Amino acid sequence: MQITAAVVDEAHGPFAVRDLELDDPGPGEVLVQVTATGFCHTDGIARDGEMPFPLPGVLGHEGAGTVLAVGDGVTSVREGQAVVMGWPWCGECRNCLDGEPRYCLRLGELCFSGARLGGGSALRTTSGDPLAGHFFGQSSFATHSITPASALVPVPEGMPVELMGPLACGLATGAGAVFHTARPLPGASLVIYGAGTVGLAAIMAARNSAATTIIAVDRHASRLQLASELGATHTVDAGEQDAVRAVTEICGGPADFSFECTGAPGVIRQAIDSVGMRGTAVLIGGAPAGTEFSADHMTTLWGKSIVGTLGGSGHSPRLIGALMDLYAGGRFPMDRLVEYFPLERIGDALEASYSGAVVKPIITMPH
């Protein structure tokens, strides 16, 4: 079928909106008519060639829409059902079987190869040339997407489908880092470095936990103000203060948990230095492949943990479903973060995201 999508031809190149051809869904796959897709910095990293995704191709991995058709063997969703397209997973490796599909041993192949697991892409140009697709199993900067049925999470009736896509990655990543990785006990202190989508999601999740000290660190006054409105008990302007010292003063010592949401090596070190004995620094932010960071050996040796977390960990249906319920109950106001851009303005969405003018741009699809 003919679809419209934003194509990146080469590293650092622009998003070019074009007509393409998309195959029918194969066994275990679903055709989704995309309503809207969040723009994530991971899309920017891949566009810039700092992630091993072949170009030319179609990016986008925070999609939500409506099921148009299902392939053979699919019984988990039905035509006409609204869905969020979560991350793909093989369901057969030891990590999937251990209940941690975010760490599927075939995740690299599923997300970044540009092809289906069985080989080949469902996308091609109108002249028949193949294009890389299946980015995070979806390539949803497009009006339509082929995605594995196992990655889909149903959207409850009445929920705004156009808002739900970022739950697939950015929002689930920040919230899951609190709920799954940290699991703060009553009275815990948390510091979040970077008040973007992931950091603000962590703050909203922390507000739904038993943590009592929630510190947001950023350089943008508007982001810090929003963080306060969404649940931060304290804010630190990293452009005006020594963040580690400020955190220590607020907590009366090191924090129990830090969450690094920027991927910047200098900020990673600050996050590590903000926790002490038996404290945990949680690394979340995406950095280009090959990035290294440092930590002080002695203070880390004294019971400090440094742990990475991917996509919020756990199962998409449980985590994303819970966040939908929290949103419906007014306890996870993710609508405060977003601004909508039509597909033909995807370049503007990227610039708004990178400049900090918009926390979470969402690309809406023409139909």
Q: Which two tokens stand for residue 230?
A: 């969404």
For 346, the domain range is: 2-168+313-364
Quote the pLDDT of residue 16: 97
Quote the pLDDT of residue 288: 78
| 163, 24: one domain | yes
pLDDT per position as a tens digit, 120-133: 999 999 999 999 99
R_g over Cα of the chain: 20
Quote the pLDDT of residue 315: 87
* Kind plus residue range of the DSSP H or E element containing 295: none
* Kind plus residue range of the DSSP H or E element containing 267: helix 265-273
Q: Above 80 in pLDDT, residue 343?
A: yes
pLDDT per position as a tens digit, 102-115: 999 999 999 999 99
Residues 74-84 have a mean pLDDT of: 97
Residues 196-208 have a mean pLDDT of: 98
| 200, 298: one domain | yes
Quote the pLDDT of residue 314: 86
Quote the pLDDT of residue 287: 81
Q: Above 80 in pLDDT, residue 300?
A: yes
| 13, 158: one domain | yes
| 7, 126: one domain | yes
- The answer to whether 181 touches 310, Cβ cutoff 8 Å, is no
Quote the pLDDT of residue 27: 96
Quote the pLDDT of residue 234: 98
Quote the pLDDT of residue 197: 97
Q: Above 90 in pLDDT, residue 286?
A: no
| 194, 330: one domain | no
Q: How far apart are CA 137 and CA 109, in angstroms?
A: 10
Place of tokens 């196992």: 150
Residues 212-232 have a mean pLDDT of: 97
Quote the pLDDT of residue 367: 79
Quote the pLDDT of residue 290: 84
Q: Are strands 63-70 and 29-38 parallel, antiparallel or unpaired?
A: antiparallel
pLDDT-derived band at 289 (thresholds 50, 70, 90) equals: confident
pLDDT-derived band at 118 (thresholds 50, 70, 90) equals: confident
pLDDT per position as a tens digit, 245-262: 999 999 999 999 999 999
Q: How far apart are CA 211 and CA 214, in angstroms?
A: 7
| 279, 176: one domain | yes
Per the structure, the count of domains in the chain is: 2
3-state class (DSSP) for residue 210:
coil
pLDDT per position as a tens digit, 157-168: 999 999 999 999
Q: Above 90 in pLDDT, residue 78?
A: yes
288: domain CATH number?
A: 3.40.50.720
126: domain CATH number?
A: 3.90.180.10
| 78, 9: one domain | yes
pLDDT-derived band at 303 (thresholds 50, 70, 90) equals: very high
- The answer to whether 320 touches 172, Cβ cutoff 8 Å, is yes
Q: How many CA atoms lie within 13 A of 361 on its CB side?
A: 25
Rounded to the nearest integer, the mean pLDDT of the chain is: 96
Q: How far apart are CA 133 and CA 114, in angstroms?
A: 5
Q: Which of 308, 330, 346 is the last residue of a domain?
A: 308
| 158, 222: one domain | no
The pTM is what? 0.95
